[in-house]
Amino acid sequence: MSAANCSLFDLSEDTAVVIGGTGVLGGAMAEALAAAGARVAILGRNAERGQARVQRIEKNGGTAMFHAADALDRDSLREARDAVSATLGPVSVLVSAAGGNHPDATLPPGSDFCGLSREAWDTVFDLNLTGGVLLPAQVFGETMLARQRGSIINIASMAGMIPLSRVVAYSAAKAAVLNLTRFLAREWATQGVRVNAISPGFFPAEQNRALLMNDDGSYTERGEQIIGHTPMARFGRPEELGGAVVWLASRAASGFVTGQNIVVDGGFISTTI
């Protein structure tokens, strides 16, 4: 690759925050951003996992820190934002990756939609929409707007594009994530802040592993069905989200891109189900 091409994906002027970088996909995206030169802050509730990811990044020559934060608590996000800015410089990239399904909001096979509890529904909407987009965008958007510079990347899901069976609350919440992403993109388009989404297909992680895989590593029935509908006939690997996140983070590479949803799913959405 020529030097000119390399600089398209050079994030050495950027400080990136990954909320939920304690998790499988957020952690992998944090590593990709750091490998592209960004100073990376991992925000989340689990210090042990956050610190472990920081150590991996540092071992690979990157710069990273962990700061505790709850995506559902505005004050905690503000406190983390200010601490990160003081240590690594003002935040120019936000990856909002706290989210996931909840077992109580998953309908058993053939079960009745009318029995889905309000509490389970609210839990999934709170985490994915309020903690996954609204509060982080408000808190980090505030300082990005003041500097007229920022790229916000919300982690939606392929489930937000089509209503997947059984995970009804999660699908509906992620559809709302995509809608709010486009709203914010339009709202801030002339103010230097771009807002996009990445929609992963199926990647085994903490929050969905039991749905996809048995304890012995074999696929569950649902896992088998998903693989059967995925043209690439496999689940995704977390590092396969790295290219999309670095591209969207980079002003040089995607400076005229906002309001988009980048799907990384092995072709799942391209097939009829």
Q: What kind and span of H or E run contains 104? A: none
Q: Which of 118-154 are b and which e, b meaning 16 or more Cβ less than 10 Å from the residue's Cβ? A: eebbebbbbbbbbbbbbbbbebbbebbeeeebbbbbb
261 part of the interface to ligand NAD, by CB under 6 A? no
Find out whether 53 and 73 touch, Cβ atoms under 8 Å: no
Strand order in the sheet with 15-19: 63-68, 39-44, 15-19, 93-96, 150-155, 193-200, 261-264
Find out whether 236 and 200 touch, Cβ atoms under 8 Å: yes
140, 170, 203, 235: the catalytic one is 170
Residues 6+ apart with CB under 8 A from 110: none
- Taking CB under 6 A as the rule, which mask of x and - marks residues 212-251 in contact with ligand NAD? ----------------------------------------
User: Could you say which of 37, 62, 132, 223 contacts ligand NAD (CB under 6 A)?
Assistant: 132
DSSP line for 216-252? TS-B-HHHHHHHHH-TT-S---GGGGHHHHHHHH-HH
User: Could you say which of 23, 37, 242, 266 contacts ligand NAD (CB under 6 A)?
Assistant: 23
User: Could you say which of 17, 26, 164, 195 contacts ligand NAD (CB under 6 A)?
Assistant: 26
Active site residue 170: yes
37 part of the interface to ligand NAD, by CB under 6 A? no
- Taking CB under 6 A as the rule, which mask of x and - marks residues 92-131 in contact with ligand NAD? -----xxxx--------------------------x---x
User: Could you say which of 92, 106, 157, 258 contacts ligand NAD (CB under 6 A)?
Assistant: 157
Task: Tell me the window of 4-12, 17-25, 111-119, 144-152 that interacts with ligand NAD (CB under 6 A).
Answer: 17-25
Find out whether 252 and 8 touch, Cβ atoms under 8 Å: yes
Task: Tell me the window of 51-59, 142-150, 203-211, 242-250 that interacts with ligand NAD (CB under 6 A).
Answer: 203-211
Q: What kind and span of H or E run contains 115? A: none
Residues with catalytic roles: 170
**Can you give the binding site for ligand NAD, defined by CB under 6 A?**
19-20, 22-26, 44-46, 70-72, 97-100, 127, 131-132, 155, 157, 200, 202-203, 205-208
